[in-house]
Each structure stands twice: as C-alpha cells, then as structure tokens.
Structure 1
Amino acid sequence: MTDLDPLDRRLLDLLQRDAGRTLRQLGEEVGLSPSAVQRRIGRYQRAGIVDRQVAILAPDAVGGALLAVVLVTLERESSEHHARFAGRMLATPEVQQCYAVAGEWDYVVVLAVRDMPHCRELGEHLFKNDANIRRYNTLPVFDRVKAGLEIPVSRERGSSP
C-alpha cells in the first residue's frame, strides 16, 4: 500500500504518537468520522502498515532502566554465525534493539538493564563468552536525548521539509 493520501499520512502520524486516542478524537484531528477512521486503520492493519500497537512504558515509573549501546564485531561472518548471533539477541529480553550494520562493526545492540552489574553480567553472557565475537564495546547511556519509533510519513518522498 504505497498510495497513501494526505489524510492517511496525517492519521498514521497521529497513530504513531498515540494509538490510544479514540476514533472520535482521531477523526476530529483529520476531519473524518469515527467509522471512516476505523476503516482506514483496518486497511493499514491488513496492508501490514500498522504492524502492532504497544504500550510504551516510562522507565522511571517502573523502577528505571539503564540503557547501554553495545558495538559488536564477529570473528567469522558466515550466514550461520550471523543467524546464531541474531537468534541469541531475539531470545534475550534485555536486548531492546539490534541492528546489523555496515562498517567497522557488524552489530549495534541496545540493552535495557537494571544497573551496571547487570549490564556487565549480561555482556559477559552474550558477548564475552562467545568464541565467534572478535570484540565488543559497551557504551552506557547517560542521558536519553531522544527516543522514538515514529516513521516520518506526513510528507511525500522526495519533497523538501
């Protein structure tokens, strides 16, 4: 579904910011009836544009979480080694995000842990005790400057800001 009209783009922006708004509230923002909004949202879900809806927790409200960014380089880079690494990341709840990247490092991993001892313990478990990891570097996050998951859809591709 690539033929999104301006109302679709505006509605998708609003849903990304807060999918908990009522159909009426969303409709008032975009100038549609609640039933028209519901039909569009259903279309986005069927088309795979809206993958899922989740609750985003405030870390401080649930006891806090220390974030750490880990840069990882594998020793051997076969598809089997990458699949094994990805499987471990997928199976670890503390791994919040994991990206295969180009350049000096093979992966960027974002961890959400209780504290520094937990970070050290998890790092040793996930990265130090793996014979196929050449090196890794853990960077504790001091301040969250911006954290988001929104995909810009309000403008057409190629248009200037």
Structure 2
Amino acid sequence: MIDETDRRILRLLQKEGRISLSELAERVGLGATATSDRLRRLQRDGFVLGFGARLNPALLGRGLLVFIEVRLERTTPDVFESFAQAVRRAPEVLECHMVAGGFDYLLKTRVEDMAAYRRFLAEVLLALPGVRETHTFAVMEEVKATAELPI
C-alpha cells in the first residue's frame, strides 16, 4: 500500500520527471534520505516503471497520429500470439490493445503523413499474421494527450 506522501511523490514525478531529489524531498516535506528510500521502494514495487522525455512527434517526422481497429481472421491463441509478436516489431505502432467488442485490437500509430500511412498499411499492417480487416481513424486534432494518471 502507498500513503499520501507516496502519492505526492508520484504526482510530482509525473509532472516533473527531472526534478532533483533535494527538490522532491523539499516539496513533499521529507528529508533527502527518506525521500530516496520511498522513491527506491516505489520503483522496486513497480509503481514507477521508468523515466523518459516527451518528444515532439512532428519535429521527428511522425506528425500524423492514426488509430486503427484490427479484426483478425480467427480468434485463437496461436493467432493472437503471432499477431502480438509481429506488432511488437513494428516501430510505427506506439500502442496495441486487445479489446472486447466489434474488433480484436486497437492500435495507436505515428507516421510522417498520409503517404507514409498508406505504405505502412500495405507493407506492414496488412502483412501481420491473421489480419482480416482494418478501419483507420486519422487524427485531425489532438485535444488532449497525456500519460499522467490521476493519483
């Protein structure tokens, strides 16, 4: 279990991942050693999965965000596993979620533009094992994009 001080640490880390240990300790009202111990425990227990920079996709040639519904030919364990292994190797796919409902997977992808998406669709996505049908949703405007969890 985590307490309110742990929650404050997690909230601060989500917003300011590069915060120094001394600043973090000051903002949560603990000493540096106690804060360091809590942070190590939160990492060890899996609450903190890692640290990274948020990058500008447009400046890196990945300006087009596309969501794709994927329906498989069959929903058997071997098809699910083959698809999952193959999609993990596709760098254009940022997220892949198996979902309940009218299709099997929802993919979040980033490519340069619509021409790059057409190439990705033809050369990568439709070549993945078991893919029967896809539906594409190109994002016209990102209204909200965050990875911060409410804590």
Q: Decide: shared fold, TM above 0.5.
A: yes
Per the alignment, in what secondary structure is the counterpart of residue 85 of structure 1? helix
Match of 1:55 in 2: 53
Match of 2:86 in 1: 88
Per the alignment, in what secondary structure is the counterpart of residue 103 of structure 1? coil
Match of 1:98 in 2: 96
Give the TM-score taking structure 1 as reference length. Answer: 0.86
User: Counterpart amino acid of 2:130?
Assistant: N
1:112-123 equivalent positions in 2, closer than 5 A: 112-123=110-121
Deviation at residue 145 of structure 1 after TM alignment: 1.1
User: Counterpart amino acid of 1:62?
Assistant: L
User: Counterpart amino acid of 1:106?
Assistant: D
- Structure 1 stretch displaced more, 141-150 or 125-134: 125-134
Kept in 1, the 8 Å contact 2:69–2:134? The answer is yes
CA distance in 2, matches of 1:93, 1:5: 38
User: Counterpart amino acid of 1:74?
Assistant: L
Match of 1:159 in 2: none
Deviation at residue 35 of structure 1 after TM alignment: 2.3
Match of 2:63 in 1: 65
Match of 1:78 in 2: 76
Aligned match for 1:23, one of 3, 11, 21: 21
Give the direction of change, closer, same or farther, for the CA distance of 1:46–1:129 in structure 2 (3 Å limit): closer
Indicate yes or no: 2:150 matched with 1:135.
Answer: no
Task: Count how many residue pairs are aligned between Structure 1 and Structure 2.
Answer: 151
CA distance in 1, matches of 2:95, 2:106: 8
CA distance in 2, matches of 1:60, 1:113: 9
Give the TM-score taking structure 2 as reference length. Answer: 0.92
User: Counterpart amino acid of 1:75?
Assistant: E
Per the alignment, in what secondary structure is the counterpart of residue 12 of structure 1? helix
CA distance in 1, matches of 2:57, 2:45: 32
CA distance in 2, matches of 1:84, 1:117: 27
- Structure 1 stretch displaced more, 127-136 or 13-22: 127-136
**Structure 2 unmatched runs, 5+:** none
CA RMSD of aligned residues (A): 1.6
Q: Percent identity of the aligned residues? A: 36
